[in-house]
Structure 1
């Protein structure tokens, strides 16, 4: 039986060890214990759900609900959360400077009276689980910024800093939240603005705002956000009165207007009514806020909200393009055919020309230009007379589409247009336009049309040749004379036509330029008159030893701005070549003769000046 006794004793010992370890883990360590012993009061901030301040006959009662503090007595209103959290923080770090034990207090009967702690006017009570006893505040101590305090259930007295007294010896109004609302702009999903001019309703759909009344239109996200922020960041200047009395003195019996903010979960909304300008404070205006049931004053600029009109918050961007779903762009110019640009990974092709590579940078530039383009004028809110603006037969139409190559459960194969822009007649510096799914007619700058190429050749990639210099086997350059060179088996360049010492550096520079030649931009199929009437340069080169893979570049007349008209046999259309590239192609291939000794300038040395 001894082994059973031993087992029982071991079990008891193990259980005792676990209990001791658990108990010790819950006790503060030495440093923490010292800190707590020095504190005037110890409590858990998270467990405090009420604060009562008694200051003579005045009582201030504040309660925390849903992590928000509210005043309950003597007025019901939002409390200043930051002010209360600061009070709790100060209480947590409130230290004793000296302790007067109970025995010493009891030894001298009038000691509490001397410290002002017999019947103190100022008291602080924390409410909540494990809350400390009520704290009584007495007279100021002899030391600067110190005072006497004790707990309700103890005569032991402490000398401590006056910081807590300063935190709580306030009027009830000082604990009220001067921030008008605890809403943040991101929570607002609907806005209703009512003024003498009518009613305007704004609603957020997805990531963007829309105007719902008095017309349906895209809203300007930034401007509507700024409008909402004027309410959500507004700070009360004065607490005037509750809203149960006569509101005529404040112009709120019949307010000049109102703005109501709604969240997804709040169907009633928070309404701000705007009344008269304060007679005493001309820079303030009376307001009434429904969720707080009081009359306040706000900065007078708040009344500017009443001047907001639909066009003030309309999105002035011509079009919104969701690049995440954009797969195709169709440019349709009557009489010029259609150009279809298709996305292929990160690049673009000209789908209407057998998916030849497009100048992807130019496509991205057009998309960015259209996304940032703003209308110059909202011309008509109802597009009832399209011929008047040339929009019955637009001169240019852009269509943006997504594309699915196969049927899926969500979509069918093929193009799915999601936005169309039609451009009509010009009017001075503007041209009329209309977005397909909107009933409005707007004006945009005429110069935008010049940035939308209607010739598919203008969308070609800028690379004219894609070779390595060492792939060129032979070449000839014709300017005012013809020079031809061939790369022999010994890897040396020799003349086919020409003579003299070959300038190897210039030859290499010419080959580097020619092999990777890029256009500045494409002019298109239409060649300007006289562009190639007189050639500046004709370069031909072979990329195979048998001269079967031949390539030809012709550079014509000047195009202005330091550019030249050019064409290559393997590309359709005319492009612009930079002067820098043309100069590289015209470098002299014959080495310049070295200067003779007689031409070498002599070096003249100045006589040195020595010490006298």
Structure 2
């Protein structure tokens, strides 16, 4: 090289470095137009369909067909990491030149000095609009730039100093460029998921939009849980690619896989095969996709989690009703007798059908129990246990739920033996037993009478208009006189209103069958109350050795009152509360 050429090259280099140093001190992004003018290409490179890249870490060819994802064609054939390719194209689209060599100033010696005689990296991006080719040489002495030759469409060849993040986006090896997700899925398209593991087979299938488990038991599947498992399979990423030629699969335990996960859609059937643990790192397992040669490593803990797919996706609900308000009939047999709860046609309340009689039930209590039933979830499943060992061949109670309307559905629950915290149960929508919280059994009243309202006066009784009170030989009659006044024997009784209020709100602790005369004990007080339209309630309160009993005329059951809270009934209604009655 002549002295003159050398001086020119050095001068140009110093000028470009000076410009680079100046630009590095500036605040970036002054004006959009100025920024766009510094970009190395104005071609739509992010719409490319082919990329050819040669870097120190290898040669790579990428291809993208319309409507599809990026694929690697060289050095292997397979899916590319679309995110990594997208970052490269975005970098090319937006990277800026810090200084451009004036046209006509370059010569061979200068190209050698810039490292562009034999470029270290070559990138060719092909698109419908043309070709963009980029070659990089040496890094500039001042950090942050690299000498670059650019040929972009019709712009001609340019030599420039370009921001060095360009080379950072290009310098990746095969592992970084390839798709690490080993079996990416379009989860909504999946129709079936199968697991093969020794003698265990799990089959989960979608039919008419509903997911069900067909093997190892027949049971409803939780759609959210199924989507979660499929999402985990789709996001499985290889931690390392061991072989791209397959080779001797026995080395990896893949000639006879210990596990396989099969995912079926209408168009495809893909199988992920699992082999041995990696002897160098037992937290990793060898794996491959059945129709591809590559062997890779996956985290063992993730595969172990997927191996529990049957329990993970099984619907843990005991009943499948979506809304407790849908149920219109509940039949109970076994412990506590046989009875039926029926929702009124208006939907406003419930009736108890027991001993061939229909009585108003505590609708709020029934609704609360149905809501709690809908929220019950299995603690665990026992698909192969002997039902006799769990008390399910002769269940303690059977509960049949019916809901009409368009569904016209029936489900039955059987309750078996209990432990301190759990109860064995079986539902008609599933095979095998399950263990659920004891709250399910405890939430059912001991008898049908437990569904009756605790309040003594019926809901349709209305306000007490008159009543007769009798204790021992004392007997008094009281009538409502209007304006909140009460009369007895032609005189105002100012204290009676408080007594009547407590009477109207009185509740029993529980209802039960009629006990023996000895258990009923001695009569303490009798009250006959009259409400609207001549409705009457006749009650007798007695005190035995164990309970304070309330008997209602015409009823074949009795109520139990609080032992410490019933004494006010004996008090003369016309006297201030707390003053003893004269007998």
Give the whole-Å Cα distance in 2 for the aligned partners of 1:295 and 1:120. 34
Q: CA deviation at 1:295?
A: 0.1
Aligned residue number for residue 15 of structure 1: none
Give the whole-Å Cα distance in 2 for the aligned partners of 1:206 and 1:86. 41
Change (3 A) 1:121 1:48: same
Q: Deviations over 1:115-160 (max 9, x none)?
A: 3334422122222222552122232224322223231263433333
Is 169-178 or 296-305 further displaced after alignment? 296-305
Matched, 1:358 2:361: yes
Aligned residue number for residue 174 of structure 2: 172
Aligned residue number for residue 158 of structure 1: 160
Contact 1:257 1:306 in 2 (8 A): no
Is 158-167 or 46-55 further displaced after alignment? 46-55
Contact 1:475 1:541 in 2 (8 A): yes
Q: CA deviation at 1:274?
A: 1.4
Change (3 A) 1:552 1:340: same
Aligned residue number for residue 213 of structure 2: 211
1:185-224 matches, within 5 Å, as 185-205=187-207, 209-219=211-221
Contact 2:461 2:535 in 1 (8 A): no
Change (3 A) 1:330 1:140: same
Change (3 A) 1:369 1:418: same
Question: Which of 245, 265, 268 is residue 267 of structure 2 equivalent to?
Answer: 265
Q: Deviations over 1:430-463 (max 9, x none)?
A: 8776545666466777874554448554333456
Unaligned residue ranges in structure 2 (runs of 5+)? 1-29, 579-583
The residue matched to 1:199 in structure 2 has which SS?
strand
Give the whole-Å Cα distance in 2 for the aligned partners of 1:564 and 1:98. 101
Matched, 1:374 2:359: no
Q: CA deviation at 1:82?
A: 1.8
TM-score normalized by the length of structure 2: 0.73
Give the whole-Å Cα distance in 2 for the aligned partners of 1:45 and 1:585. 92
Aligned residue number for residue 85 of structure 1: 86
Give the whole-Å Cα distance in 1 for the aligned partners of 2:346 and 2:178. 58
Give the whole-Å Cα distance in 2 for the aligned partners of 1:121 and 1:146. 14
Give the whole-Å Cα distance in 1 for the aligned partners of 2:38 and 2:413. 74
Question: Which of 511, 520, 531 is residue 523 of structure 1 equivalent to?
Answer: 511
1:35-74 matches, within 5 Å, as 35-44=35-44, 47-55=47-55, 58-65=58-65, 66-74=67-75
Contact 1:476 1:482 in 2 (8 A): yes
Change (3 A) 1:98 1:535: farther
Contact 1:566 1:574 in 2 (8 A): yes
The residue matched to 1:87 in structure 2 has which SS?
helix
Aligned residue number for residue 288 of structure 2: 288
Change (3 A) 1:463 1:92: farther
Aligned residue number for residue 277 of structure 2: 277
Change (3 A) 1:68 1:568: farther
Change (3 A) 1:249 1:351: same
Q: Deviations over 1:510-563 (max 9, x none)?
A: 665555x3747753555698776467876665556xx95555666666999xx9
The residue matched to 1:231 in structure 2 has which SS?
helix
Contact 1:509 1:584 in 2 (8 A): no
Give the whole-Å Cα distance in 1 for the aligned partners of 2:569 and 2:97. 89
Change (3 A) 1:62 1:389: same
Aligned residue number for residue 451 of structure 2: 459
The residue matched to 2:76 in structure 1 has which SS?
coil
Aligned residue number for residue 5 of structure 2: none
Q: CA deviation at 1:59?
A: 2.1
Aligned residue number for residue 420 of structure 1: 412
Contact 2:148 2:159 in 1 (8 A): yes
The residue matched to 1:110 in structure 2 has which SS?
helix
Q: CA deviation at 1:47?
A: 2.6
The residue matched to 1:156 in structure 2 has which SS?
strand
Give the whole-Å Cα distance in 2 for the aligned partners of 1:350 and 1:278. 65
Q: CA deviation at 1:164?
A: 1.9
Give the whole-Å Cα distance in 1 for the aligned partners of 2:351 and 2:460. 26
Change (3 A) 1:510 1:211: same
Contact 1:274 1:287 in 2 (8 A): yes
Is 474-483 or 358-367 further displaced after alignment? 474-483
Q: CA deviation at 1:283?
A: 1.9
Matched, 1:141 2:144: no
